Chain A
Amino acid sequence: MDGKRRILIMAVVFGLVALLPIFFGGSKVIMHILIMCLIWSVVASCWDLIMGFAGIFSFGQVAFFVIGAYASAIFSLRLGVPPIISTFLAGAVAAAVGVLVALPCLRLKGAYVALVTFAVHMILAPFLKSNMGRAIGTGGAQGLLTIPPISLFGYTFQNAEPIPFFYLTLVVAVICSLIIILVIMSHWGTAFLTLKDSEDFARALGVSALRYKLMVFALTSFLTGMIGGFYGHYVGMLSTRMLGIDLFVTLMIMLVIGGVGQYPGAVLGAFFTVTINEMLAPVGSYRPLILGAMVLILVLALPDGVVGLIRSLFNLGGRGARAGGRMK
């Protein structure tokens, strides 16, 4: 799939999404779901960029999201930084943590990276709840309430008024998607493809694996942390429950549906998954059970995601199809 087709698909998707408030603007529930879809599409795209394209098995995506959300909330609550600036600061904090985590583990093989990043995820909740966390203002086990909403040019984006917030989120999501597409299309994308196919060969050509991987780690954790901060200002409260394994698996389902390394797929996967997840709300405690079963079925039945399935049905070519396809 070349860059132009990716941009075209994204333009169509976001264009259609932009029109949705005309039909559903009256329903706060649907608008909320749409905002969530946009927010998670960014997180899922970042994960796809780091895992699908850069080939780094990072399992810390939710952790960076939560770090960003907490950082932005703490900046605005404790230091009085305007939320629109604190979200960027949150991105910087997440990127700094991302680089710190990446430095020891990027020299290692795949499974180790998964282990370290997942350990970051596992240790974050005890840290946020501990006295150390409380000292920097995480609110301990209770979490954070009364996070101020974002204001821009004197206008405050309240979550009671979903339509303006929806368009703000759409703008952010479009910018993030453009950045991701540009990265995939640039020489970074080519470098990653080479590194993933044969690291030794890429090195021989002078491609520095460590530098590219560090940069992609920094970029994706920046975007993830920023959108996390954005999320915090939207919902207005945060707790460590977000670090539960079901949210992690939900994010993973987005990627499984979209297909790993099939870029716009992750965005579609996010829309799909968030909607299904909201529809499952009435079954309550059975929801994680269903999510777990969904992972098993989807991974076994659709190893390349829905996008991969569609592509193989219509036999669309391109390098993406082969990258995720059957071996030998």
Chain B
Amino acid sequence: MEVIDVIISGMINGSVYALMAVGLTLVYGVSKVFNFAYGSFYSLGGYLAFSILSFKIFGGYVTVLVLAVPALLLFGYVVERAIVAPLRRWSSWEVKVMMLTLGLALLMDNLFQITYGARVKSLPVIVEGSLTVGPVIVSWQDIAIFVLSVSGMFAFRWVLNNTWVGLAVQAVAQNPNGAQIVGIPRDKIFAATFAISTVMVGLGGILLSQKYFVSPNQGWDILVKAWVITAFGGMGSIRGSLYAAFIMGMLEAFVGWMFGLTWVQFALFGVLLATLAIRPQGLMGKWG
């Protein structure tokens, strides 16, 4: 029953990719920021979990989530306010933001390397053991990752639809100037969006690092994956990213299973080119 294992693996990776791609598309949709350091934020999540767990404190991953989510939120907010926001008043600031975040990524990756060393670090699993249903064996860890990332998505949906910040984010996404006119602090919302996306990708880092370890330069792979998913789903479309993430998770699992892991990157690239050639706005995106 290897096929079922592949499908399960695709579902689990897809759920985490969904979390990360939605964060990315949110930032781009709201503030037009192309964040090259997104992959390094992923590593940051992994290293945060590693550091917190290395103290062997009470609570394990519960403590990690309690500590890491506010830390990531704060980190994202400060990064946006301190280094991205000042660029907005310059012309062609988009390209300057790209350059800046590329520099930030290099800086962060090397800080990780100096602090934690170049060798990969492994995180303990959330729960041990596995569940056997007939011929299929699923580890509880995989189930936990899936449940956590899906609840992360629901939490995000709740924030977006039921809190003042979430509604303000939607307003700014629809019309930044209009939002400002009705008294929404646009710049703070840009920063809040960035902070939320940092939490989402950082959570992705915490969840996936148990399966794939933590290393200083791993983020680039995640950056490209998240961007490809976002482009495939449609830039700025949250629902599109969600579907695209699961499709890409499946595609990745099947290509890796049938042709080997090297082909996964080529397959992702092929999907990207095909999407842009046939339907440039992505699955559910719209221009603008």
Chain A residues at the B interface, C-beta cutoff of 8 Å? 51, 57, 59, 104-105, 107-112, 114-116, 118-120, 122-123, 126-127, 130, 245-246, 248-249, 252, 255-256, 260-261, 285-286, 288-289, 291-296, 299-300, 303, 323-327
Q: What 9 pairs between A and B have smallest CB-CB spacing?
A: A295-B103, A292-B107, A292-B106, A289-B110, A299-B100, A104-B277, A303-B90, A327-B91, A288-B110
Contact A112 B231 (CB under 8 A): yes
Please name the residue on chain A nearest to B278 by beta carbon: A104
Q: Does chain A have a CB within 8 A of B41?
A: no
Counted as pairs of residues, one from A and one from B, with CB atoms less than 8 Å apart, the total is: 133
Contact A116 B91 (CB under 8 A): no
Contact B34 A104 (CB under 8 A): no
Contact check: which of B28, B262, B272 meets A126 at CB < 8 Å? Answer: B262
12 new A-B pairs (CB below 8 Å) besides A296-B103, A324-B92? A115-B34, A115-B228, A116-B276, A118-B224, A122-B224, A249-B102, A252-B102, A289-B106, A296-B83, A296-B100, A296-B107, A300-B87
Please name the residue on chain A nearest to B262 by beta carbon: A130
Contact A127 B280 (CB under 8 A): no
Report the Cα distance A294→B106, complex, angstroms: 11
Contact B103 A303 (CB under 8 A): no
Contact check: which of B32, B107, B280 meets A289 at CB < 8 Å? Answer: B107
25 of the cross-chain contacts (CB-CB < 8 Å) are A51-B95, A104-B276, A108-B280, A114-B98, A115-B272, A116-B272, A119-B227, A122-B220, A122-B265, A252-B102, A285-B110, A288-B110, A289-B107, A289-B111, A291-B103, A291-B106, A292-B108, A292-B110, A293-B107, A295-B106, A296-B103, A299-B99, A300-B100, A303-B96, A324-B91
Report the Cα distance A123→B273, complex, angstroms: 13
Chain B residues at the A interface, C-beta cutoff of 8 Å? 28, 32, 34, 83, 86-87, 89-92, 94-96, 98-100, 102-111, 113-114, 217, 220-221, 224, 227-228, 231, 235, 262, 265-266, 269, 272-273, 276-277, 280, 287
Please name the residue on chain A nearest to B270 by beta carbon: A123
Report the Cα distance A296→B277, complex, angstroms: 35
Contact B94 A111 (CB under 8 A): yes
Distance to closest chain A CB from B208 (angstroms): 18
- Could you say which residues of chain B place their CB within 8 Å of the CB of A109? 287
Contact A115 B227 (CB under 8 A): yes
Distance to closest chain A CB from B222 (angstroms): 11
Report the Cα distance A261→B90, complex, angstroms: 14
- Could you say which residues of chain A place their CB within 8 Å of the CB of B221? 122
Contact B102 A248 (CB under 8 A): yes
- Could you say which residues of chain A place their CB within 8 Å of the CB of B99? 252, 255-256, 295, 299
- Could you say which residues of chain B place their CB within 8 Å of the CB of A119? 224, 227-228, 269, 272
Please name the residue on chain B nearest to A127 by beta carbon: B266
With A115-B231, A293-B107, A300-B86 as contacts: A123 and B95 at CB distance below 8 Å? no
Distance to closest chain B CB from A232 (angstroms): 24
Report the Cα distance A148→B83, complex, angstroms: 46
- Could you say which residues of chain A place their CB within 8 Å of the CB of B235? 111-112
Contact check: which of B34, B91, B266 meets A325 at CB < 8 Å? Answer: B91
